[in-house]
Each structure stands twice: as C-alpha cells, then as structure tokens.
Structure 1
Amino acid sequence: MTPSDRDATGLLTRPDHFVQLVTPAGERRTDAEFDPWVADVDTAALGRLYRDMAIVRRIDTEATALQRQGELGLWPPLMGQEAAQIGSARGLRDDDFVFSSYREHAVAWCRGVSAADLLRVWRGSAASGWNPYDHNMAVPQIIIGAQALHATGYAMGAAWEGTDTATIAYFGDGATSEGDVNEAFIFAASFDAPVVFFCQNNQWAISEPVGLQSKQPLARRADGFGMPGIRVDGNDVLAVLAATRIALDRARRGEGPTLIEAVTYRLGPHTTADDPKRYRTEEELAEWGARDPLARVLTLLASTGFDTEALEREVAEEAGRVAAELRAAITTIPDPDAMTVFDHVYAEPNTHLARQRDHYARYLAMFDEGAAASGEGAAR
C-alpha cells in the first residue's frame, strides 16, 4: 500500500488493482482498511452469504432452462456475478432504494421479490414485475444507464427531506460510456447526493471487451467527477460487502457519492439470445471459472472447521424448493388482455392515445371476424 492508493479524503481506492479479502483459493487476507467493515461477519453469516449466492445461481439456471423451453421470451443470466450482487445487496438497509439494470436478479432476491414477479416481464405478461415501493427497488431498467439518473434524483430528494436514506444504482461496464451515467455522476458529485454507483465490470458489454470501453480501470473515472472510486474483487462477497458499507456510510454522513467497480465476469451469455462463443475463448472462460465466488467461500468455511457438507445439503434442498416455486410460478402468471397495453402510459387520457387504442381495437377485431368467417365456411 502506498500514499497513491488513497484519495484526498483518505479513503483507500487502489485504482490499479482491487481490494480482496478472500482469494480464489479460499484464503482470508487481512486488510486494516476494510476488515473493520466486515468484523460482524462470522462463519454463520458467511454461510448465509453462501446460501444466498447458491440459491440465486439455481434461480438463474432454472430461468435459463425455462427460456430454452419456450416459457420465457428472454432471460439475462447473472452466473458468475453472484458475489457482486449479494455482497452489495446485503449491505443495504430496508429503507435504502435500489435502481437496477436488467441483470440484478440476486439483488431482487435479497429485496424479497417473489419468483413470479421475477419472471413476468421476461414472459411478456406485464410491463413491470412488481410495485417498487413494496421492496424499495425500482423495476429493472432496460435503457442502458438510465437508472443512474433515477438513483441520483431519488437520493437528492431524500437528502432534501433530511433523511439518511441512500440509493444504489447498478450498471455494467458498458453503461459507463453512456451519457446518462456520466450526467448522473455530475449531478451526484455537485450536490453531494447520497448515492452509490455500483458498476459490475463483467468484462463484456455484449460482445465488446471492457478494454474498448476504457483505457484505465473504470474506478478511475470517479476522479474526474470529484468522488472516490473503489475497485474491488467482484467475485469476493466479503470484499464487496465491505466496500458497499464504506460507500453507504459516506453517503449517510453527507459526504456524497462513491463509485464502486466490482471486477467480475459473466460466465453465461449476455442474454439467452446471445452466443458468447463468437467473441470469447474457452481459455478465458476457464480462467474466470477458477475464480468462482461460491467455491472460495466454501473453501474458507471448510478451513475454519465449519460443516460445509451439511451446509451444501441444506442449501441444495432449499434451492430445489425455490426452483420448484419458480417453475410453478410460470403457470400462475396470467396472459394480459391485449388492450391493457395502453394502461398507465399517461397519467391522464388524451386524444393521441385514444386514437391509437381505437386503431388497435379495430385491428384485433379483424382476427375475430376472420375466425368467425372461417367457422361459417367450415359449417357449410
């Protein structure tokens, strides 16, 4: 550690490498700066973090299978990013507000979102999955990076109301090239908004490697906006939890935003419509597979004498139950009436929308008339 590892506030940023508390081999590293932030995480708590990661991996696997079976139109897998999402989500308070992209299924799991609500959007049965105020989590944002602005605006409002509520915005490495994200950085830094910008650098923006997004570690982008950046091993759930708690603490004390770059890897495709074999190698996949976030936690627990075999059995049983709930949820999601596509588009009725509604209704009626005519012909 050198003086250059620290910013003007004394916060350890380490822009050229990352904070790591648990190595891929499952060894616990001591860190004077970050250890105090996870001092409460004993072996039982670490086991619970493993449970979260294992269950959401099973959810992800099951949802991918459901898409392959034609039950979902699309699914964006999170496999490989479990530690980044669970570590950060478990650092939040219930009253903090989450603004996510379309891949944060593990965060939604931590916020109490049901299996059916995770699936309904990807089945094409609803415009959104849940009521944001039921979970203090906005529905997934499809527009790349837009949620960073939403998080900043909400955080500014919370600060003006005098609360110590914080927000967190999740986005990928590709989103850092979007104007929305950079505009959010400017507003948040200028107004000391209590927001954490959480970038999951999973190495690929669809088929474009992160090296084309930035010639420097993404955490360094914080420098230009006057906020600290923390680069953390995104496959280390303990380090992610510590970094998120640090950033949230700064936000609550009125010290403004923080950018966290969680260096991780997307083991699966960008979405189930993607073929990652077209742009990455088997060697790269194997290299990152050896850094698996779940395996290192199990190894660390085993080294302490923790009964990992019992833990794995219990978690496998629970993950199986959750997967069964996920499959059952598919049958409970009703198909919406076609005309509901016009609901909630505007706060008040207007002639433009009414005209579209009328045109669409007449278009649909054509099919009813065609079916009726076909039936009459068959009767003759």
Structure 2
Amino acid sequence: MKDRNHLSRVNVSHSATIIENGLIDIPMLQLLQADGTPHKDATLPDIDKETALKMYNTMQYVRVLDERMIAAQRQGRISFYLACTGEEASTVGSAAALQDVDMIMSQYREQGTLAYRGYTTEQFMNQMFSNEKEPNKGRQMPIHYGAKELNFMTISSPLGTQIPQASGYAYGQKMAGQEAITICYFGEGAASEGDFHAGLNMAAVLNCPVIFFCRNNGYAISTPAEEQFAGDGIASRGLGYGIKTIRVDGNDIMAVYAATQQARKIALAENCPVLIEAMTYRLAAHSTSDDPTGYRSKDEEEKWREKDPIRRFASWLQQQGWLDEAADQAHVEQTRQEVLTELKRVEKVPVCVIDEIIEDVYDTPPWHLQEQLRELKAHISKYPDAYPKTSGRINNG
C-alpha cells in the first residue's frame, strides 16, 4: 500500500471470496466499472427496481445534506459537520443489505445508513441544532446521531470505542437467540486504536455475529494510508485474527451490497465475525475543522471524482431503464428544497431549559451539581451579550 492511490496493489475480482487463509495480495470485489457497465463475467446481486432506486435516492439525499450542512456551518448556523461525500456507496449499500433488526454501531460518517432506515430531515436537523426536540437534549455535538427505534446506537466521539462494544452486543444477540447481527463501521485510521484489536479478537474467540465494516478512505484526517501502516490494508488484519474477510470496491454500491449480504448470511449462520474492507476515498475534508489542501493535491481529488459512486450507479440504473435523467434532476432539486426548508424551520426551535443539563443521571441531582448550575446561571446573567439568545432559557425558580 506504499502509494498515494491506496488501491495501487489491489487486484480486482468479480466474485465475493471469503478468505480464511492468508494471501499475499487480497483481491477486491468489483462488479460495476466506472461507467456503470458490469465487468465481464461479473454476477450481479439479485436486486429489484424499488430497492435500487431507494439506494440511489438515499445517496443523492446524503450528498445534498452534506452540501447544505457544510454551508450552514460556514455561515455559523451550526458548530460542526462531517461529510461522507465520495463514500456514499459504502454506507448506503451496506445498510440496504441489512435487516431492520440488525444493530448499527457507527463511527461518524454513516448518515447514509440512518437515512436509508428512515431517519427524517427533521430528525437530522434537530440533532445538529441541539434543540429541545432532540432525544439527547442537545448534549451531543452535531453529527452524533442516535435512534433507538431504528436500532442505531448513539455515536460517541472517542475513536474506536464502538468496536469492542459491537462485539459485546453481537455476543448478547447470539446468547439471546436473536436472528440478528451487529454491524460496526469505522475508518482505517480507527484500526490503529487498541479497541480495534481488542474488539476483533473478542469477536473471533467468542464467535460473535458481527460485521466489522472498515471504510478505507485513504486518510486518517491528514495522515495518508502509507504512513499509517506497512501491511496490506485492513483486510490482512482480519486474517490475522482468524476472521473471514472480504475486500470490496467501496465506490461500487452493487459490490458493497453483495458483499454485505454475503457477510450477514455467514455471520448469522455460523455465529462468527466477518470483516469487510471497503476501498473508497474521502472527497470532502475530514470535517469542517479541516483543510485538505494542506496534505493532498487537487489532481488526486479529481482522479477520484472520476470514480464518483453516485454517477457510477446512475449509469447502471439508466442502462436498466430505471432512471430518467430529467426526473432525477427534479428529485435532487426537490430534496435540496426540503433540506433547506427544514433547516430554516428547525434552527428557530429553542434549546432545552438550562436546568435539564444536570437531569437524567441522578434521581435527585446532588448538591455539587446544583451549586454548579447556580453558578452557571449567574455567569450567563452577568454576561448576557456573550451567549446566544437561546441560552437565556433559564429557570430561576
């Protein structure tokens, strides 16, 4: 992997192969070429028009959401945002291959999985604006989504913590006799955390029905893959722990869908973990706090734009006669208006009353938290111009 193009040493395969014995070069499953035409002799997964269009529309929705929320952050309307531009096929394709009973444990770039399961624009906005309608009462920073009703575990900021948690949750599913698995998303940078190794070893030893889904997008913030590790990506690590492993073209949604379908089938039938390494690229900055021009070139980005996952899938859909270009553009514009309308509406929703900041942990908040709350109220009252007007929802009773 000693190349800025982290696919440089990857061989393309047209069938999903579960690798149980070590290989020098691990093949990559790819079904659709960059122009949307299937590879010769490639076997595409059985997929109906309704599912295919839902996958495509979800990818379009997420890209529009990313565009609008990055703009909102630049305008000072929200404090932070993480886009998944260029990686939509990895998150949406894998989500489409799951069942609703399956638990999703996310890193922070998987808004596509939530959108596919039905998380609404209003819910996205409530979370990012940290208002009183957000289930976590605004205690999480933006993009830390959670939806119990959708089996989507709330995102946590520390990197990699969800990996051993996923192993434990999947072990619980097995012990309870559930016909369900857990999928755990993370980037190749998170695979450098100790939690990655602990989580994979735990899952392998205890035979946990969990899919470890690595989005290898080439960079851990500003650190390129070749400076993170010397081995053959993340797939080789799965082999080291005795885990069945698939490497897939993360910009080919059909390949991701097929690989995840197979991984789920195996994880459930054999009560074992499966590792999927999706080779993709982060076209956007790491976050709105990042400037990628400091560590990568425009030429590199443009080469990957030619492999755009949305354009690739759109071409395939058009070849099937399932997508009309004019209707598609109209739908994108409608989505853009929906996101913008909800953004304008939800940003006016007030935040929680400040007293709630010390609730929901203790039956009765202890004296030291009550004292800190009084000091906080006094501070805000003394310097009202230094805080947003919504911070003025103070109960002085």
Q: Which amino acid aligns with 1:160?
A: M
Q: Distance in 1 between matches of 2:190 and 2:349?
A: 32
Equivalent in the alignment of 1:358: 371
Flag the 1:258–1:111 CA change in 2: closer, same or farther, 3 A.
same
Flag the 1:306–1:120 CA change in 2: closer, same or farther, 3 A.
closer
Distance apart, 1:337 and its partner CA: 2.5
Distance apart, 1:108 and its partner CA: 1.3
- CA deviation string 1:163-184 (max 9, x = no partner): 1211111111100000111111
Find out whether 1:58 has 2:58 as its counterpart: no
The answer to whether the Cα contact below 8 Å between 1:145 and 1:178 also exists between their aligned partners in 2 is yes
Distance apart, 1:350 and its partner CA: 6.8
Equivalent in the alignment of 2:170: 155
- CA deviation string 1:332-362 (max 9, x = no partner): 5422223322223x355574xx313313422
Across the aligned residues of Structure 1 and Structure 2, the Cα RMSD in angstroms comes to: 2.6
Flag the 1:6–1:75 CA change in 2: closer, same or farther, 3 A.
closer
Equivalent in the alignment of 2:249: 233
Helix, strand or coil: the match of 1:253?
Answer: helix
The answer to whether the Cα contact below 8 Å between 2:210 and 2:267 also exists between their aligned partners in 1 is yes
Equivalent in the alignment of 2:34: 24
Q: Within 5 Å, which residues of 2 pair with 1:1-380?
A: 7-8=19-20, 16-29=26-39, 35=44, 38-39=45-46, 41-43=47-49, 45-125=51-131, 126-128=138-140, 132-215=147-230, 216-344=232-360, 346=361, 349=364, 351=366, 354-368=367-381
Distance apart, 1:51 and its partner CA: 1.4
Distance apart, 1:256 and its partner CA: 0.5
Q: Distance in 2 between matches of 1:296 and 1:259?
A: 25
- CA deviation string 1:118-173 (max 9, x = no partner): 24444354125666321110122211111112211111111000112111111111
Q: Which amino acid aligns with 1:188?
A: A
Worse-superposed segment, 214-223 or 278-287? 214-223
Distance apart, 1:68 and its partner CA: 1.1
Q: Which amino acid aligns with 1:76?
A: L
Helix, strand or coil: the match of 2:351?
Answer: coil
Flag the 1:288–1:14 CA change in 2: closer, same or farther, 3 A.
farther
The answer to whether the Cα contact below 8 Å between 2:253 and 2:309 also exists between their aligned partners in 1 is yes
Q: Distance in 1 between matches of 2:156 and 2:204?
A: 22
- CA deviation string 1:35-94 (max 9, x = no partner): 3xx22x145543332211111111111111111111110000111011001100111111
The answer to whether the Cα contact below 8 Å between 1:15 and 1:220 also exists between their aligned partners in 2 is no
Helix, strand or coil: the match of 2:93?
Answer: helix
Q: Distance in 2 between matches of 1:260 and 1:6?
A: 10
Q: Distance in 1 between matches of 2:323 and 2:192?
A: 45
Q: Distance in 1 between matches of 2:55 and 2:266?
A: 24
Distance apart, 1:265 and its partner CA: 0.8
Q: Distance in 1 between matches of 2:348 and 2:154?
A: 20
Equivalent in the alignment of 1:376: none
Q: Which structure: greater helix fraction?
A: 1
TM-score (normalised: structure 2): 0.83
Q: Distance in 1 between matches of 2:24 and 2:330?
A: 38
Q: Distance in 2 between matches of 1:257 and 1:213?
A: 24
The answer to whether the Cα contact below 8 Å between 1:6 and 1:13 also exists between their aligned partners in 2 is no
The answer to whether the Cα contact below 8 Å between 2:20 and 2:242 also exists between their aligned partners in 1 is no
Q: Distance in 2 between matches of 1:214 and 1:104?
A: 24
- How many residue pairs are counted as aligned between the two chains? 360
Q: Distance in 2 between matches of 1:31 and 1:219?
A: 25
The answer to whether the Cα contact below 8 Å between 1:227 and 1:259 also exists between their aligned partners in 2 is yes
Q: Which amino acid aligns with 2:75?
A: Q
Helix, strand or coil: the match of 1:230?
Answer: strand
Q: Distance in 2 between matches of 1:49 and 1:158?
A: 27
Q: Distance in 2 between matches of 1:82 and 1:51?
A: 11
Q: Distance in 1 between matches of 2:145 and 2:49?
A: 34
Unaligned runs of 5+ in 1: 372-380
Q: Distance in 2 between matches of 1:26 and 1:13?
A: 29
Worse-superposed segment, 315-324 or 243-252? 315-324
The answer to whether the Cα contact below 8 Å between 2:73 and 2:80 also exists between their aligned partners in 1 is yes
Flag the 1:83–1:367 CA change in 2: closer, same or farther, 3 A.
closer
Q: Distance in 2 between matches of 1:367 and 1:171?
A: 39
